[in-house]
Amino acid sequence: LRFSTAGESHGESLVALISGLPAGVPVDQEFLDHELWRRQQGYGRGGRMRIERDTAHILSGVRHGKTIGSPIAMTLANRDWKNWEEILPVGEGDAEKHKAVASPRPGHADLAGALKYDFKDARYILERASARESAARVACGAIAKLLLRALGVEVASHVVRVGSAELSREASFAEIAAIAQREDVLLACVDPESEARMKAEVDQALRTGDTIGGVFEVVVHGLPPGVGTHVNWDERLDGLLAQAVMSLQAVKAVELGRGVTAAQSPGSKVHDAIAYEAEPVSEDAGKFTRFSREHNNAGGIEGGISNGEDLVVRGYLKPISTLRRPLASVSFETRETTKAAYERSDVCVVPAAGVAAEAMVALAVARLVIEKFGGDSLRELHRNFSSYC
């Protein structure tokens, strides 16, 4: 399974390309567009999200509602393009209309990118560095989710921290999964009291011209043991998940299970004691008997291999680097001290980043599932999967 994206924030369109899926996976356009809608939500998004209404326009690889094994190409139009056509033309255009980003924003790709690509300002850098690109990942991820769903594997996310406001209790998978059905996403937190404290953090940032980061958690439910391997460094599930989530814009740390607190706790408090349940555990576990754990501090991965518990991946998001009250910077042109550039921006994107991370996790897991179980059709993959289970 491979995927790639193209497109810039204020260009005509985003492009998503995914290949390597078996034939016969049901592709539900409504589901794709709902996933894209979810990525646009959350308290603290900026004015851009009132302009865009993302939808995945499928060009290839899907016929009569199912994948046909060939590469799937999709475009996601930028509605804002009509305001930028003359500013960012593909042809030479009118230099007078160029909208320079004249002083780099600390924390953004602006400065390092402009130096690297030899640009006189940061416009072309921010165009591609922008998290707008994650919409194309969500389109690909939605298809990976549909493949996993056909095998009984579900992926969901929720927000566990915004600034200093933290979710004050454990969340069940059913609660986390239910967030995807919300009409008002707010901060995608399962607990209303914690969510109100998170909202207060965003309000404070809004009031003061600041921005705020946080932590999202992605959970994969229903994955059998044995996905990923300990035998080679670049095939370990933990490493692949870390790369997948870390590659998202503004993610600065990735935690698997309770990895952070594990580093400061004794082994007896960290490792998940093993039991065996001879009876069916739940309806979705079917007739299988299984090994089970008292808790899941490992986040469903031991030795780079899934162990049958829920995969739990947390992403730590730095605050958005475009500040309404900008930090000090330097003019690209004069090299004199000035304020960093400000353009319309978001104040908090933790729920949206969680949705993008669901996509990345689904893509990483789907890739390993396809590699392990093989098959050119969903029927063949499903047969291999069921007989292994």
> Residues at the annotated binding site for NADP(+)?
39, 45
Q: Is 46 in the site for ligand EPS (CB under 6 A)?
A: yes
Q: Is 9 in the site for ligand EPS (CB under 6 A)?
A: yes
Among 58, 126, 171, 212, binds ligand EPS (CB under 6 A): 126
Q: Which of residues 61-80 bind ligand EPS (CB under 6 A)?
A: 80
Each residue 79-108 as x (binds ligand EPS by CB under 6 A) or -, in order, gives: -x----------------------------
d(CA 376, CA 20): 9
Asked if 48 is part of the footprint of ligand EPS (rule: CB under 6 A), the reply reads yes
Torsion of CA 19, 24, 26, 27, to 10 degrees: 30
Of how many residues is the chain composed? 389
Q: How many CA atoms lie within 13 A of 42 on its CB side?
A: 31
> Which stretches within 52-133 are classed as H helix?
110-117, 123-129
For ligand EPS, the closer of residues 114 and 365 by Cβ is: 114
Q: Which of 216, 215, 199 is nearest to 207 (CA)?
A: 199
Task: Pick the piece of the chain touching ligand EPS (CB under 6 A) from 128-136, 187-195, 196-204, 257-265.
Answer: 128-136
Q: What is the CA radius of gyration of the chain?
A: 22
Query: Binding ligand EPS by CB under 6 A: which of 203, 346, 371, 380?
Result: 346
Work out which of 17, 101, 135, 254 binds ligand EPS, going by CB under 6 A.
135
Alpha-helix residue ranges (DSSP H) falling in 247-377: 259-262, 267-270, 350-373
Nearer to ligand EPS, 12 or 346 (CB): 346
- Among the listed ranges 61-69, 125-133, 262-270, 377-385, the one in contact with ligand EPS (CB under 6 A) is 125-133
According to the binding rule CB under 6 A, does residue 343 interact with ligand EPS? yes
Q: Segment near ligand EPS (CB under 6 A), from 127-135, 154-162, 223-231, 292-300? A: 127-135
Dump the DSSP string for 162-230.
ETTEE--S---HHHHHHGGG-SS-TT--S-HHHHHHHHHHHHHHHHHT----EEEEEEEESPPTT-S-S
Among 5, 75, 130, 211, binds ligand EPS (CB under 6 A): 130
**In degrees rounded to 5, what are phi and psi of residue 172?**
-80, 160
Which residues of this chain interact with ligand EPS, rule CB under 6 A?
A: 9, 46, 48, 52, 80, 126, 130-132, 135, 322, 343-346
